[in-house]
Amino acid sequence: MAHNLVVSELSNLFLGPNDTLNQESMNPKFLALKQNDVVINDLFSNTIGVWECSWYYDSSVKGYSIGDAVWLNTEDPDDFVKSHASLIKHYTDFNSQILNKLPDFDGNDSSVMDAYKTAMSGYTDVNLGKGVVLPPIFDIGDYTKPIQLAISLKNNNKSLLTDDTAWKKLFVNTDEDEDNVRDTIDRKEQTVLKIHLRDYHLENHEDEAQAKLSDYMNEPTSFAYYTTAPASMYKTYEDYSSSAKPLYGIDYVRYSIRKPIVSDSVVSQCQFVRYWKSGMIEHFGTIATDNEMFIDKIDNVLKIPFDWTILDSESGARAYERGILVDASNNVLTAQETTQSNVPPIDNMINVVYEKSDVKVDGKKEARAFAEVSYNLSLHAIYQNQNGIEEDYIPIAYGDTGMTQNWNSNYLTNEVLDRKEKNCFTLKLGTRVLPPYVSYYAVGKGEF
């Protein structure tokens, strides 16, 4: 039969492992199945309908052929009788065994309806003799039960649908069958889950995984100390910034430095820098565009440096260090701390925090700048001052009509593309694109 099908290759009917579950991938499969169904249906003498005793009054009429299919549990009895009343009466009128013929059909007469339903489903006529039972004219099953499809297992099949040797039910037919199906699904689900856990989560293969990891870590533990990992595990910034293929390795922040800038006793501006083990460096912060500390009046630009002084009293930056107060080099002052008056770190020593006037990081008082001008920089406008949102942020009068701003979202970054240097970037002063504040973020190779 396969050579007559529209689609005979099974791989063309199944979804592939990479196919998505949407109309685009599934509809062609359903169409192929429908086309095959049409071909298969045409191969059989009877189209799929309900079981009908076409030999009811003529035993020479052929029964169902092997492979013929009939529906069960799809028809409402009253509706079916109303639509097939003339055919039911036809069968009973021409059956010579039936002496008491059916009355003319009247769907509003319950006794007539019952007589037609009884004739349709098979009944005993007292005039036929004891024990003589007429077969049903139609077997529509039980409308209250799930839909079922029965397949004929033999040719010239005149057996009732209750004969399991003559008819095969295609769908789940009993509670036991349903339990078996659910059990099969559960077992397959557990098998698939077990394979997934084995392949992707290393279940029951923890020892092999640990042995493999030992090729990369001297002592596999629950916590990796990045600062003490073997040198071979690190990658430098040059490695993963210039290579076409991704290279992997450990990286971590060595120093994170924050410099606040005080204006009118309020910290509304800051500069930050982070040094990474790999050699990467990040500079970021928020600066007021009218801050005299950053204005170059000669060139009429706002200049934001990367090599700023870490500790700067003018900006309001402060550094503090924790220590122990002593009255002599060998005489550490102590206190008698009790459970009621203990002060962390609870060591019976007088602990102090003192301000430092000088701070060096990697032996330098200034933050590191970039090694090259190819670092990435992005800028964002902030239309707000220390008192709140700045409403009149465009200093030029444009008349009574409303102004349409067609700037792209990256206009500030575009402004400085040709104004970048290794140790700073600049913005033109007095332009309408300059907001009250700018927030910047730059990342690249540090000058270490």
Q: Are residues 253 and 387 in the same domain?
A: yes
Q: Is the pLDDT of residue 383 over 50?
A: yes
For residues 237 and 280, the answer to whether their CB atoms sit within 8 Å is yes
Share of the chain above pLDDT 90, in %: 37
What pLDDT score does 284 carry?
A: 97
Measuring CA to CA, which residue among 242, 267, 223 is closest to residue 371?
242
pLDDT bin (cut points 50, 70, 90) of residue 130 is low
For residues 88 and 120, the answer to whether their CB atoms sit within 8 Å is yes
Is residue 116 domain-resident?
yes
Q: Is the pLDDT of residue 402 over 80?
A: no
Q: Are residues 347 and 365 in the same domain?
A: no
pLDDT bin (cut points 50, 70, 90) of residue 202 is confident
Q: Is the pLDDT of residue 72 over 90?
A: yes
pLDDT tens for each residue of 17-66: 888 888 888 898 889 888 888 887 777 656 788 999 999 999 999 999 99
Is residue 222 domain-resident?
no
Residue keyed to tokens 């990992």: 229
For residues 75 and 50, the answer to whether their CB atoms sit within 8 Å is yes
Least confident stretch, 3-17, 333-347, 370-384? 333-347
Q: Are residues 329 and 367 in the same domain?
A: no
Is residue 190 domain-resident?
no
Rounded to the nearest 10 degrees, what angle do helices 77-94 and 110-121 cross at?
70
Q: Are residues 352 and 427 in the same domain?
A: no
What does the block give as tokens for 69? 């299919």
Q: What is the DSSP string of 245-283?
A: S----B--EEEEEEEEEEETTEEEEEEEEEEETTSEEEE
Q: Are residues 261 and 346 in the same domain?
A: no
C-alpha–C-alpha distance, residues 122 and 110, integer Å: 18
> Any residues with CB less than 8 A from the CB of 17 and at least 6 apart, and which?
none
Q: Which domain holds residue 73?
A: 2-174
C-alpha–C-alpha distance, residues 50 and 447, integer Å: 86
b/e string for 190-206 if b means 16 or more Cβ within 10 A? eeeeeeeeeeeeeeeee
Q: Are strands 253-263 and 266-276 parallel, antiparallel or unpaired?
A: antiparallel
pLDDT bin (cut points 50, 70, 90) of residue 398 is very low
Q: Are residues 150 and 58 in the same domain?
A: yes
What does the block give as tokens for 102? 């059916």
What pLDDT score does 110 carry?
A: 92
Q: Is the pLDDT of residue 206 over 60?
A: yes
Q: Is the pLDDT of residue 325 over 50?
A: yes
Measure Cα distances from 20 to 26, 30, 192 in Å.
8, 15, 19
C-alpha–C-alpha distance, residues 102 and 94, integer Å: 11
pLDDT bin (cut points 50, 70, 90) of residue 405 is very low
pLDDT tens for each residue of 349-361: 777 788 888 899 9
Count the neighbouring beta carbons within 10 Å of the beta carbon of residue 389.
10
Is residue 184 domain-resident?
no
Is residue 207 domain-resident?
no
Q: Are residues 371 and 337 in the same domain?
A: no
Mean of the per-residue pLDDT values of the chain: 82
Q: Are residues 324 and 376 in the same domain?
A: no
Q: Are residues 143 and 276 in the same domain?
A: no
Report which of residues 385 and 276 the model is more confident about: 276
Q: Where are the alpha helices (DSSP H) in 161-271?
A: 175-201, 206-213, 237-242
Q: Are residues 391 and 350 in the same domain?
A: no
Is residue 209 domain-resident?
no
Number of domains in the chain: 3
Share of the chain above pLDDT 70, in %: 83
What pLDDT score does 223 carry?
A: 62
What does the block give as tokens for 60? 């020479």
pLDDT bin (cut points 50, 70, 90) of residue 409 is very low
pLDDT bin (cut points 50, 70, 90) of residue 441 is very high
φ and ψ of 389, to 5 deg: -65, 135
For residues 442 and 377, the answer to whether their CB atoms sit within 8 Å is yes
Is residue 327 domain-resident?
yes
Q: Are strands 253-263 and 69-72 parallel, antiparallel or unpaired?
A: unpaired
C-alpha–C-alpha distance, residues 122 and 167, integer Å: 19
Q: Are residues 348 and 293 in the same domain?
A: no
pLDDT tens for each residue of 367-381: 999 999 999 999 988
b/e string for 8-24 if b means 16 or more Cβ within 10 A? eeeeeeeeeeeeeeeee
pLDDT bin (cut points 50, 70, 90) of residue 131 is low
Is residue 191 domain-resident?
no
Mean pLDDT of 432-436: 79
φ and ψ of 12, to 5 deg: -85, -10
Least confident stretch, 99-103, 107-111, 294-298? 99-103
For residues 171 and 96, the answer to whether their CB atoms sit within 8 Å is no
Q: Are residues 276 and 169 in the same domain?
A: no
